[in-house]
Amino acid sequence: MASKPFLLVAGARPNFMKVAPIAREFRKRKIHHQLLNTGQHHDPALSDVFLRDLGLGKPDYNLGVGSGTHAQTTARVLKRAEPILQKLKPRGVIVVGDVNSTLAMALTATKLHIPVAHVEAGLRSRDRSMPEETNRILTDMISDMLLTPTADADMNLRKEGIPASRIVRVGNVMIDSLVAALRRFPADSEHGNPDFLLMTFHRPSNVDSRDGLVRLIAFLKKAAQLLPVQLPLHPRSCVQLRKHRLWKSITSIPHLHIFKPLGYFDFVNQMRHATAVVTDSGGIQEETSWLGIPCLIMRTSTERPVCIDHGTAELMSGNYDLALSRIHVILEGRWKKPKPIPLWDGRAADRIVRALASRF
């Protein structure tokens, strides 16, 4: 009889970079596993290209939940995942990150008494207005194993009453994918050439209101006067720009190059050559810190303070004028240098799989 599989869960673009190294490690150790894609990011630019680039192949299951409100996507995952888990009876369900799919799959498995492991556990922004913060907290509360990237994540969990026996610090599995991606590029190809700024924006606080978009466009216009700006445009941002009739305003900015979201390898290649990155993303803070690329976080809080304390990131608190002044500092060569972050070494997946095989 075949052994029960581990079930790896992904639902949105950032999840694929986290599950890919774990899947590779499972294959290396010949441990039975399957992949479930909830389909929360149903746009091919946000899912199919990443599955291809990261070598994940076609998922064993695709729930196809698509977009919708937080309640709608969560409910669809709960409803569509339950019969699959009842039939499969996996050895354990492995969820990653903090999207709605993460919480929904953890909740579905817990209700069926199936063990749950949460990769990237313990991150906290202290900002409950972010839906991701709610997802993180609730997923950690119900997971059997909490696989953390940093010491401060361990501390957050302990302060919330999680026993040490459920916490395993494994490092940052995103760095595993980054290290693997960098092997594809010529060794003599250096990053950090002072020729462009790379920017990404998709969070509601930056793109969901007309006023927010007007401020963003004004910032892009000023930034592009300092250096050319590369802007891979998230589908959400594109929809909002058209909705508020600001498409012409942004596309007419000189030296601003707008294009569709990139595949993983293409984006890493862009990022490593950028003079600096301006973003409201979470994972990009980690990747730029490891690469040594200055990163301006266009948010009021971050769940990754280690990237500020040890990395190259700085929090702009939504202040575009501050971001412009910090770009000047970067261009003057006065940006801080990163410090090594423990266990961000490209071997997190090995530690994750060893912990899973031992516990479950």
Catalytic residues: 202
**Alpha-carbon radius of gyration of the chain:** 20
Between CA 23 and CA 46 the distance in angstroms is: 19
The pair of structure tokens assigned to 132 is 């991701």
Burial of 331 (0-12, 13-18, 19+ CB in 10 A): middle
Q: Are 44 and 16 in contact (CB under 8 A)?
A: no
Amino acid at 7: L
Please name which of 90, 78, 134, 98 lies closest in space to residue 116, comparing C-alpha atoms: 90
β-pairing verdict for 229-232 and 295-297: unpaired
User: How many CB atoms sit inside 10 A of residue 282's CB?
Assistant: 23
Burial of 301 (0-12, 13-18, 19+ CB in 10 A): middle
Between CA 315 and CA 309 the distance in angstroms is: 11
Beta bridge partners of 34: 7
CA 82 vs. chain centroid, Å, equals 25
The pair of structure tokens assigned to 187 is 């060794």
> At CA 104, angle to CA 32 and CA 357, rounded to 5?
25
Query: Which pairs with CB-CB distance under 8 Å and at least 24 residues apart come from 79-86?
Result: 81/36, 81/38, 81/105, 81/108, 82/108, 82/111, 82/112, 84/36, 85/7, 85/109, 85/112, 85/114, 86/112
Between CA 247 and CA 252 the distance in angstroms is: 9
Residue 308 has, within 13 A of its CA and on its CB side, a CA count of 14
